Every structure is written in structure tokens, then in C-alpha cells.
Amino acid sequence: MSVTPGGIPDGIEAVIFDLDGTLVDSSAVWRNAMTRAVDLACARYPQLASVGDAGEIYERVILPAARRRSTEVGGEWDDEFIHYAFRHLLTEHATSDDDLATELQATYIATRAEGVYETYDDARRTLEAVAERFRVALITNGPSANQRSRIGPLGLDHYFEAIVVSGELDIRKPDPAIFEHMLRQLDVSPAAAIYVGDNLEADIGGAHAAGMAAVWINRLDATAEGFAPDAEITTLDDLLPLLL
């Protein structure tokens, strides 16, 4: 755990969380969905096997392309980035095939929807502890049905006074407007709220742009290049002590 001097302001009233990568572990479901889609692409165009297996294709081609698109648009992973990345894969390593790119995106989305999501071990106890002392809310990027399909079934919705899903507003992190929308719902000032998330650009950068402090949950031992979170933690168990 590390804290920037003066980074956590006094007078915090509301703690606002990110969903995926912060409270919910979505990585295994996403990997399985990606593997099924890439296997389908390789079945149609066997020459893609020269790039590598499904995992290697994802790491070498899909993920970099999606990240480039994310940088262009700004923010966290979005299903449109998947379509862009599949188009790039086919164009660069097989042949341009927009119909297949659309089919691969649909396969990825459908397989992902079948997946079983789990909360991180530290998520529920942290939400319960924080909710005893602060107002608690959630901002998450993604299509409404996709995000809501996890929040409710995982029994997380009752922890939150307010929930904002980017797909329901056509505003997405890191746009400060989505944070400002939440602040209006809670009727708190930016100085009285703090955001907790795992994505440096979408969560830390977006919260800072809205005038809020931000805590980076760094579960993957990454480096905070280009961003300066007000605090860095590796487990949510360290969050409450930061705020007290």
C-alpha cells in the first residue's frame, strides 16, 4: 500500500467503486470467450495458426489492436473494440472479412454471457465495512445488459446507493461527465467523494478530471505510468484503513 502525501482528503462522504477488475474477477470468462472466437477464426482461415495459438493471437494481435482503439476512443474495454480487433486480425493475417469479424464478435459476446463470474475474495467484506461508514456507489463501463447481468445476480446491487452504467447514458469513463453525473445523484461535491478502480486511464484519470481523489487497486503488480493515483493498494482490505 502506498499513499501520495496529501492524497486522501479529509471529509470523504462517498466511496464510488469500479466493477470489473475491482470487485468482480472477469478475466477467466473473458479468456474463454476470446479463445472460442479465435478458434473459430482459425477454423475459417487456417493460415492464422502461423501467428500462434489462441492465447498468442490474443496477446500479439487482438489485445494490442483493442488497446489502440481504446486509446483513440478513451476508457475501458468496450465490445466495439473487439470488433475492431477482429477486423484487424483478419485484414493483417488472412483477408478482410467484415462478416466474419462480426460473427467473431457475436461469438465472443455470447460465450462471455454464458460465463460464471465471481467477486474477488476481498470485495464483499470491503463493501460491507465501507458501507458502515460511508455512502457507497458504483460506476461501470459497458453495455447495460452485460453489466447488470453481473451486478444483480452476484448480489452486489444492495450495497450501492446509486449505480451508473455507461451504456445507459452514452457516456463512458474516463469522460469526467459520468463521474459528475454520479456526484449529482449523490448530491456530494468532488472533494467529498473518492473513486476506487483498477484502470489507470478510465478510473484514475477520469476521477481526477472530475476533481475527485482516486485509489488504484493494483491486483496485477503493474506500474502507474502516466498517472498519479492518490493511493495504491493491492487488496481492497487496505481501503478502509486509508479512509479512516
Closest CA relative to residue 129, chosen from 12, 1, 8, 244: 244
Which residues, in sequence order, are CB contacts of 200 under 8 Å at separation 6+?
A: 216, 222, 224, 225, 226, 227, 229
Domain ranges of the chain: 2-25+117-243, 27-114
CA Rg, the chain, in Å? 19
Percent of the chain as helix, strand, coil, to the nearest 5: 55, 15, 35
Give the pLDDT band (50/70/90) at residue 131: very high
Please tell me the predicted confidence (pLDDT) of residue 76: 56
Please tell me the predicted confidence (pLDDT) of residue 78: 72
* Structural fold of domain 2-25+117-243: Rossmann fold (3.40.50)
Q: What is the average pLDDT score of the chain? A: 91
On whether the CB atoms of residues 122 and 104 are closer than 8 A, the answer is no
Q: For 21-37, write each residue's pLDDT tens digit.
A: 999 998 888 888 999 99
Residue type, 48: L
Q: For 132-168, write each residue's pLDDT tens digit.
A: 999 999 999 988 888 898 899 999 999 999 999 998 9
Closest CA relative to residue 88, chosen from 69, 108, 112: 69
Closest CA relative to residue 124, chosen from 202, 194, 215, 22: 22
Please tell me the predicted confidence (pLDDT) of residue 225: 85
Please tell me the predicted confidence (pLDDT) of residue 197: 97
On whether the CB atoms of residues 19 and 194 are closer than 8 A, the answer is no
pTM, full prediction: 0.80
Alpha-carbon distance of 185 to 12, in angstroms, equals 16
